């Protein structure tokens, strides 16, 4: 991380003049074995309106997750013992909480490994604090669903649970990738509203893969994917979700 950052946990002394995050502010868990990085991120994110809790390793993070609710996790990959990738992969079996990975390794293979483990985004160190804020904001916007928690979106014999990021046909759980969950949450936040490819992603490279991802979602939702009822194409505009 380059530059400086500022904030604190509710249990720790607060510096004079430092803003106090609102109790309704989105809550972030920062998991990093480097105490200096934890403190920098904690102060910086708190200064920008987030509530922040920190953990020094995967075991500490699990203890925090058992007692607190978080809107997003910032997870360092290179931690002693259980790595960030192992922790993320394990957590994904029971939780769809958004995860942003941090690592000193920026190779393509490392990014792919992080995303395949279930992370929503991947930021190599060192990074600019502003870029971290932008990526966190993007992930939180994507993961936000309408109408509160545990809300289901009916799609024929399927139902998509916004909070859990789960698609079910009856009692059968249909596996979605992390990106497919993100897309479904964006669509669910704008039912009946056509969304362009750019609305559904944040960079041109990802925009080129939207059509492929939509086709995969249709095969999981639609009775006849070639004549979609729920995930429709709007000529010249993009795609629209039409729930029951």
CATH number, position 134: 3.40.50.2300
pLDDT value, residue 110:
67
3-state secondary structure the chain: CCCCCCCCCCCCCCCCCCCCCCCCCCEEEEECCCHHHHHHHHHHHHHCCCEEEEECCHHHHHHHHHHCCCCEEEEECCCCCCCHHHHHHHHCCCCCCCEEEEECCCCHHHHHHHHHCCCCEEEECCCCHHHHHHHHHHHHHHHCCCCCCCCEEEECCEEEECCCCEEEECCEEECCCHHHHHHHHHHHHCCCCCECCCCCCCCHHHHCCHHHHHHHHHHHHCCCCCCCCCEEEECCCEEEECCC
- Here the tokens at position 61 are 């993070």
Instruction: Judge if 67 and 160 occupy the same domain.
Output: no
User: What is the CA angle 169-175-177, rounded to 5?
Assistant: 135
- Residue 8 pLDDT: 37
Q: How many domains is the chain built from?
A: 2
Whether residues 128 and 201 fall in one domain = no
- Centre a 10 Å sphere on the Cβ of residue 25 and count the other Cβ atoms it contains: 16
Rounded CA-CA distance 215/69 in Å is 34
Same domain, 38 and 121: yes
Q: Which of the listed residues 89, 116, 143 is the one where a domain comes to its end?
A: 143
- pLDDT tens, per residue, the chain with 244 residues: 654 343 334 344 444 455 555 666 899 999 999 999 999 999 999 999 999 999 999 999 999 998 888 999 999 998 989 999 999 988 887 777 889 998 876 666 667 777 778 888 888 888 888 999 999 988 887 766 443 344 688 999 999 988 778 899 988 889 888 888 888 988 888 889 898 888 887 655 566 688 889 999 999 999 999 999 999 999 988 999 998 7
pLDDT of residue 148: 38
Q: Which domain holds residue 125?
A: 27-143
Please indicate, yes or no, if residue 13 is contained in any of the structural domains: no
pLDDT at 140: 85
By the 10 Å C-beta count (0-12 exposed, 13-18 middle, 19+ buried), 140 is classed as middle
Query: How far apart, in Å, are the Cα atoms of 70 and each of 93, 120, 135, 141, 172?
Result: 17, 15, 17, 15, 27
72 with 165, same domain? no
Q: What is the pLDDT of residue 136?
A: 92
Predicted confidence at residue 221, as pLDDT, reads: 95
Residue 14 lies in a domain: no
**What CATH code is carried by the domain that includes residue 198?**
1.10.10.10
pLDDT score recorded for residue 31: 97
**In this structure, is residue 51 part of a structural domain?**
yes
Domain boundary among 90, 124, 143: 143
* Cβ neighbourhood burial of 62 (10 Å; 0-12, 13-18, 19+): middle
Considering the entire predicted model, what is its pTM? 0.55
One domain for residues 38 and 139 = yes
Boundary-marking domain end, from 90, 121, 143: 143
Q: Is residue 15 part of a domain?
A: no
Q: Evaluate whether residue 22 is within a structural domain.
A: no
């Amino acid at each position: 991380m380059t530059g400086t950052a500022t904030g604190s946990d509710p249990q720790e002394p607060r510096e004079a003049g430092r803003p106090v995050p609102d109790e309704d502010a989105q809550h972030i868990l920062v998991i990093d074995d480097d105490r200096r990085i934890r403190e920098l991120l904690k102060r910086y994110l708190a200064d920008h309106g987030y509530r922040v809790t920190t953990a020094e390793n995967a075991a500490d993070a699990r203890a925090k997750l058992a007692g607190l609710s978080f809107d997003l996790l910032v997870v360092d990959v290179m931690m002693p013992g259980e790595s960030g990738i192992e922790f993320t992969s394990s957590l994904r079996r029971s939780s769809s909480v958004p995860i942003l990975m941090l690592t000193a390794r920026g190779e393509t293979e490392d990014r792919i490994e992080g995303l395949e483990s279930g992370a929503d985004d991947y930021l190599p160190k060192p990074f600019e604090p502003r870029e971290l804020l932008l990526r966190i904001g993007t992930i939180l916007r994507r993961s936000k669903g309408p109408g509160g928690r545990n809300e289901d979106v009916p799609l024929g014999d399927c139902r998509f649970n916004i909070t859990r990021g789960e698609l079910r046909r009856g009692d059968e759980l249909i596996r979605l990738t992390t990106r497919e969950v993100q897309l479904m949450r964006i669509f669910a936040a704008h039912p009946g509203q056509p969304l362009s490819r750019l609305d559904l992603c944040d960079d041109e490279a990802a925009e080129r893969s939207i059509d492929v991802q939509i086709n995969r979602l249709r095969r999981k939702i639609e009775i006849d994917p070639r004549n979609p009822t729920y995930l429709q194409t709007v000529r010249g505009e993009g795609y629209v979700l039409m729930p029951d």
